[in-house]
């Protein structure tokens, strides 16, 4: 066995993962709190109003990170799904399962904040353009995954069924990203992730990036915590099963 494989296996061992997660979580939580404190301070006291939108632009500091994480969450599920389909690893299952509700919440947050932003700026809460529609479909995909997880009792089977569905639904992620370039939409094109550099002045870009980092850390805090909880839940389940089996044998 090569060294990298050894490392991978050690990380992928659930017990080892639990101890690593327990060591990282407090630090990551601290970093998240600090980033949010800095980000919110920058948002409300430092960031200037936009030349067109005025103070309303501040919704961006929540909307954009939430939308990014909605897509990142689904990508994480897709990667985990490959892990659980090819290596049949229980940790990949746990990662995919626990990321779905978190991703769904971020998607919902992106839709709601976008809608609240749309009313004053565009003049409507909702339009059926390609970007908004594809993000709504993303929310439905998340809900479908959660429902599938809940309907299949045996975890390893549920894991692989959800993995198949997640990979099929992944087609939607590039569609969301490029919808604003492929079609002319009411939603404006990308401001930050573009080839010729961000189209946002640094005084607005900096708070946005800090908030994005804070949201990302928050995502991973929630995800790690949910993963450890899920592993513990499965252990309790397994213990209960052996107890029942023992009682039945007596």
Partner 1 sequence: MSAFWALVRRDLRLAWREGGAISTTLGFYLVVVAILPLGLGPDLNLLARIAPGVLWVALLLSALLSVDRIFHNDHEDGALELLALGPLPLELIVVAKALAHWISTGIPLVLAAPVLALLLNLPAEAFGVLLLTMATGTPATSFLGALGAALTLGLRRGGLLLSLLILPLFVPVLIFGVSAINAVIIGPSPFLPSYLILAALTLATLALTPFAAAAALRLNLQ
Partner 2 sequence: MTRKQRRGVLIGVCLAVLGVAVGLVLLALDDSIVFFYSPSDVAEKQIGPGQRFRLGGLVEEGTVKRGQGTFVEFAITDTAKSISVTYTGLLPDLFREGQGVITEGKLGSNGVFVADNVLAKHDENYMPPEVAESLKKQGVWRGNDKK
Tokens of 10: 């050690």
Supply the minimum distance, in Å, between the C-beta of residue 148 and partner 1.
6
Rounded to the nearest 10°, the torsion over CA 36, 38, 43, 45 is 140
49 binds, among partner 2, partner 1, none (CB under 5 to 8 A by kind): partner 2
Q: Does 49 bind partner 2 (CB under 8 A)?
A: yes
Among 71, 105, 130, 135, binds partner 2 (CB under 8 A): 130
Segment near partner 2 (CB under 8 A); pick from 49-57, 141-149, 152-160, 234-242: 49-57
Binding of residue 161 to partner 1 (CB under 8 A): yes
Neighbours of 216 (CB within 10 A): 16
Please tell me whether residue 151 binds partner 2 under the rule CB under 8 A.
Answer: no
Position 85 contacts partner 1 (CB under 8 A): yes
144 forms part of the interface with partner 1 (CB under 8 A): yes
Using the rule CB under 8 A, is 122 a contact of partner 2? yes
Residue 167 is a binding residue for partner 2 (CB under 8 A): no
Q: Which residues pair with 50 in a beta bridge?
A: 54
* 3-class SS letters over 146-171: HHHHHHCCCHHHHHHHHHHHHHHHCC
Number of residues lying near partner 1 (CB under 8 A): 19
Query: How far apart, in whole angstroms, are the C-alpha atoms of residue 228 and residue 242?
Result: 21
Residue 141 in the binding site for partner 1 (CB under 8 A): yes
In the list 8, 38, 53, 79, the residue contacting partner 2 (rule: CB under 8 A) is: 53
Which positions ≥6 away from 247 have C-beta within 8 Å?
none
Confirm or reject binding of residue 152 to partner 1 (CB under 8 A): yes
Residue list 163-192, contact with partner 1 (CB under 8 A): 164-165, 167-169
Q: Which residues contact 229 (CB under 8 A, 6 or more apart)?
A: 98
| Nearest-approach distance from CB 161 to partner 1, in angstroms | 5
Dist CA 104 CA 139 (whole Å)? 6
Q: Does 182 bind partner 2 (CB under 8 A)?
A: yes
Please give the structure tokens belonging to residue 218.
Answer: 């928050």
Q: Which residues pair with 54 in a beta bridge?
A: 50
* Of 29 and 115, CB closest to partner 2: 115
Q: What is the DSSP letter of 198?
A: -
For 190, the token pair is: 């990308």
Name the residue nearer to partner 1 (CB basis): 127 or 165: 165
Looking at residue 50, the DSSP 8-state letter turns out to be: B
Contacts with partner 1 by CB under 8 A lie at 85, 133, 137, 140-141, 143-144, 147-148, 151-152, 157, 160-161, 164-165, 167-169
């Amino acid at each position: 066995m090569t060294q990298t494989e050894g490392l991978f296996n050690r990380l992928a061992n659930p017990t080892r993962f639990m101890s690593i997660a327990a060591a990282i979580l407090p630090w990551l939580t601290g970093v998240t709190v600090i980033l949010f404190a800095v980000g919110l301070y920058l948002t409300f006291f430092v960031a200037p109003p936009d030349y067109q939108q005025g103070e309303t632009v501040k919704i961006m500091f929540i909307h954009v990170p939430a939308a990014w994480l909605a897509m990142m969450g689904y990508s994480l599920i897709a990667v985990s799904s490959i892990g659980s389909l090819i290596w049949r690893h229980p940790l990949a299952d746990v990662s995919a399962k626990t990321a779905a509700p978190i991703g769904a919440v971020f998607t919902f947050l992106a839709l709601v904040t976008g809608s609240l932003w749309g009313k004053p700026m565009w003049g409507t809460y909702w339009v059926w353009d390609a970007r908004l529609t594809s993000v709504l479909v993303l929310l439905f995909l998340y809900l479908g995954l959660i429902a599938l997880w809940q309907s299949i009792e045996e975890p390893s089977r549920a894991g692989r069924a959800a993995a198949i569905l997640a990979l099929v639904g992944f087609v939607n992620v590039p569609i969301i990203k490029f919808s604003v370039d492929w079609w002319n939409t009411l939603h404006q094109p990308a401001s930050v992730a573009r080839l010729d550099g961000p189209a946002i002045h640094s005084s607005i870009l900096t708070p946005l990036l800090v908030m994005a980092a804070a949201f990302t850390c928050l995502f991973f805090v929630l995800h790690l915590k949910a993963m450890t909880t899920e592993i513990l839940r499965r252990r309790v389940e397994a213990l209960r099963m052996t107890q029942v089996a023992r009682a039945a044998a007596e």
